[in-house]
Structure 1
């Protein structure tokens, strides 16, 4: 058992090296991950539907391939979690919605197929909010996912289950997706890494509004290097996605070397107008002070994001109108409060609103790119508050002021979504409440590789600075179940359901 526990704590990059070098067996690694899930998942509820029998067969096949000297993929033998918005062949895919509690897809979607083709062993699904709407991974099918630093607090979303599975060493890599922060927010709240790539690098063949870059798929890992390894497997063009292009996926496998001492860095607490809790503002200033010496320059910079809140309202609402009109018109009560709220916002809008929003997003894009004439990176808080109890579906007010809607507290990430620049959340120590603090690092337009290289260099430098070092949960405190997390489940899903066609694809925050 001691060897197994040591094994699951290794990075994905190191595990893949040891598998390729015949130092460890994929079968041994899978069993170690299953043991860790059995021991810890009842306390945090991150992993939902599982497929252990199939995973064991695939791990055994991966072991044979190593022994026979076959060519090995980037993720060969690595146990992997798939966010429960992605269709997985023969494995329950609920989108966190009671409408699909028994849905078992007949095939993998394109991204999952690419990950499997790279040698990954899919172990199970990871929890989400209903249809990915919101930054609190709770739903009526599986219940809530708890933060491993305190299971009664929010783990973020919508890739919350993936982030927690990583933080607890249940799985070495997990997939995610991001509309307004769904890769970055849960990574920040759980002390791991979440990368929102430029739209088109990871093709999304299931996106109904194919020309809209608001939603992307992407990787999560415990380190930047692990995240890069998964991205290299995910990245590929697909002629069903009009935004996709060949970005040279294999080139992402290893982050490029970057000299931090040559970088010019801009930083902000709020991009000029995002609601940010006063203590987090103070924490951000402290973090900048602790890291400023690493860079050639580190300047506080003002930004003009215009009417970004209203712009995001419109663009987001259009996506929800496209996805959920049929379900809403049939029975509004079949959709949760977050999905209904987005749909109803959109139903009140006009074509003039839609035209204005695209004009405003273009203006925001062009204004933000001007920053990179003088700077290489932009730093900001990923989340504007410390994790709050998961029983609060969302944050209603901040600093004594009422917020505009259920996702307004996510503005520091959805402002960056509007600009379309690549962005990554990396651990930056803890906040004023002792919870993980995630630093959002934004790169140049389509500057994904340079951003990943800089984030990797920052991560390495942070390990030598106590105030910035990645926090880790005390897993010994997570050995008892947390019954409250299942309290919102109406009735359990049918785990042996038959394939029943394709469902409407989920969004993400």
Structure 2
């Protein structure tokens, strides 16, 4: 998937520039058909026009300083210095990751003045590829919950109606992409945080196999992963090539050349076997219209020559949820214990964060060990399913985007939700499997709002999962032919 030169005359209006795919933009900059100043000016104008309504980009840098950096990027090109495929790209970093010179608030008043002195590793790689950092993308407090609101910056609104939630925790990133305020975006995912907001905003979100993109320097497979988002699968794969790859100080990273993600994505899918998990035989409640919309979208895979049939996993989903609660309580307790222990700081934590920590405090080492054994049994069930199917499919969410003033749905289809994240249970199998999961758009349902499909590939079959998403995208065309009404197109 090499970046190719633009054959058409270069765009000159701001609307035309921000409408370019990331790879088209890259080619136009490299060939000097577009200057970095033109690109930066166009994106800043787009942000000025829309961000006041949608609140996707926060902690924005000064425009004059950003334009000065764009001038420098043009000067470098003029002298033959080309940093990489993102040379001159405006980029906003998810506000859970450090970017040198920017505040990493994590959506919490406890960190509103937390100025980063260095880049996180995957952000350093994006900087090295030539990006100019313009600000951060909004996220819920500590990334907890699939609704991007917080007391520091407020809520991010859905790109399709400026009323509903953008999802989370990469909600700011997804809305910014859909509104053409950034060419590509970084994100992270523990409980659907790259998938759900992508599905809610009609863009692409990719949760890689753990270790593909460095996350933390520790000898423990993290449930969260960093990953790419974009407006199409090709751009997502290209950003994955930048973010991925081993790092000596990160012992869990996977060996391999990240350049594989820059290879051509097209391939033949005739006879590929796909298993549709749906609502897990009625276990998961779904808002009316979600399943039927996603099932109609399955026809696009059949157009490719793939075979789709209902599938089941030989494992109790209720037990899997309990395993998930143990891990999530344990992780949040581990990261937020110091804040919780200080009454003054605890008073500034949202109730859901406190609930997670207190759940973690009730755990024993044996509980965590037992959850690890249970997760291994679940993985064995997933491996068994992959003996029959090449990929597994299921909806990205159980509800369509809802009113952003509502923190989380209290019921779905008449069933009560017993926690702030129970309504997102559909993403848990993908996370606990340790497999790559790609969100692709499934179409538009209630009130014209988007929904997504999760494509789960075998563990470490990340590139093949992107390839299937690319092929689906070419026939479905949900991201290619549909645009947010806010763009005025």
Q: What TM bracket, shorter-length normalisation?
A: over 0.9
Aligned pair 1:76/2:90, yes or no?
Answer: no
Cα deviation code 1:140-166 (max 9, x no counterpart): 000000002112211000000000000
Alignment check: 8 A CA contact 1:159 1:186 kept: yes
Specify the alignment match of 2:114 in structure 1: 103
Alignment check: 8 A CA contact 2:304 2:471 kept: no
Using the TM superposition, name which of 387-396 and 36-45 deviates more: 387-396
Cα distance change of structure 1 residues 360 and 104 upon mapping to structure 2, 3 Å threshold: same
TM-score, length-scaled by structure 2: 0.93
Alignment check: 8 A CA contact 1:327 1:334 kept: no
Cα deviation code 1:15-37 (max 9, x no counterpart): 00111111111111011000000
Distance 2:154 2:26 in 1: 33
Q: How does 1:485-504 map to 2 (within 5 A)?
A: none
1:92 to 100, 103, 117: 103
Alignment check: 8 A CA contact 2:86 2:129 kept: yes
- The secondary structure found in structure 1 opposite 2:270 is helix
Aligned pair 1:59/2:70, yes or no?
Answer: yes
Distance 1:245 1:53 in 2: 40
Alignment check: 8 A CA contact 1:173 1:230 kept: yes
Alignment check: 8 A CA contact 1:430 1:471 kept: no
Cα deviation code 1:421-476 (max 9, x no counterpart): 1001111221243211211111111000111111111101112xx8x976321125
Tell me how large the CA RMSD over aligned residues is: 1.9
Q: How many Å apart are 1:254 and its aligned residue?
A: 4.0
Q: How many Å apart are 1:291 and its aligned residue?
A: 4.2
Q: Which runs of 4+ in 1 moved over 4 A?
A: none
Specify the alignment match of 1:326 in structure 2: 338
Specify the alignment match of 1:232 in structure 2: 241
Specify the alignment match of 1:169 in structure 2: 180
Cα deviation code 1:24-71 (max 9, x no counterpart): 111110110000000000110000011234433332222122222234
Alignment check: 8 A CA contact 1:213 1:420 kept: no
- The secondary structure found in structure 1 opposite 2:192 is coil
- The secondary structure found in structure 1 opposite 2:448 is coil
Alignment check: 8 A CA contact 2:210 2:221 kept: no
Alignment check: 8 A CA contact 1:201 1:244 kept: yes
List runs of 5+ in structure 1 lacking aligned partners: 479-509
Specify the alignment match of 2:279 in structure 1: 270
Q: How does 1:420-435 map to 2 (within 5 A)?
A: 420-435=434-449
Aligned pair 1:205/2:216, yes or no?
Answer: yes
Cα deviation code 1:373-427 (max 9, x no counterpart): 2222111110111111111111211111112311111111122100011001111
Distance 2:121 2:459 in 1: 25
Specify the alignment match of 1:501 in structure 2: none
Q: How many Å apart are 1:294 and its aligned residue?
A: 2.5
Using the TM superposition, name which of 234-243 and 127-136 deviates more: 234-243
Distance 1:245 1:391 in 2: 41
Distance 1:311 1:92 in 2: 34
- The secondary structure found in structure 1 opposite 2:222 is coil
Q: How many Å apart are 1:290 and its aligned residue?
A: 5.2
- The secondary structure found in structure 1 opposite 2:394 is strand
Cα distance change of structure 1 residues 391 and 183 upon mapping to structure 2, 3 Å threshold: same
Specify the alignment match of 1:302 in structure 2: 312
Q: How does 1:290-439 map to 2 (within 5 A)?
A: 291-306=301-316, 307-331=319-343, 332-439=346-453
Cα distance change of structure 1 residues 110 and 321 upon mapping to structure 2, 3 Å threshold: same
Cα deviation code 1:346-373 (max 9, x no counterpart): 1222222212110110011111112222
Cα distance change of structure 1 residues 186 and 210 upon mapping to structure 2, 3 Å threshold: farther
Specify the alignment match of 2:139 in structure 1: 128
Aligned pair 1:37/2:69, yes or no?
Answer: no
Q: How does 1:441-456 map to 2 (within 5 A)?
A: 441-456=455-470
Specify the alignment match of 1:137 in structure 2: 148
Specify the alignment match of 1:152 in structure 2: 163
Specify the alignment match of 1:13 in structure 2: 23
Cα deviation code 1:196-229 (max 9, x no counterpart): 00111110236xx640330100000000111111
Distance 2:83 2:337 in 1: 44
Alignment check: 8 A CA contact 1:45 1:144 kept: yes
2:205 to 194, 201, 223: 194
Distance 1:300 1:341 in 2: 37
Using the TM superposition, name which of 264-273 and 332-341 deviates more: 264-273
Alignment check: 8 A CA contact 2:437 2:457 kept: yes
Distance 1:100 1:405 in 2: 25
Specify the alignment match of 1:223 in structure 2: 232
List runs of 5+ in structure 2 lacking aligned partners: 1-10
Cα distance change of structure 1 residues 89 and 202 upon mapping to structure 2, 3 Å threshold: same
Alignment check: 8 A CA contact 2:157 2:404 kept: yes
Distance 1:42 1:210 in 2: 42
- The secondary structure found in structure 2 opposite 1:144 is coil
Distance 2:134 2:264 in 1: 26
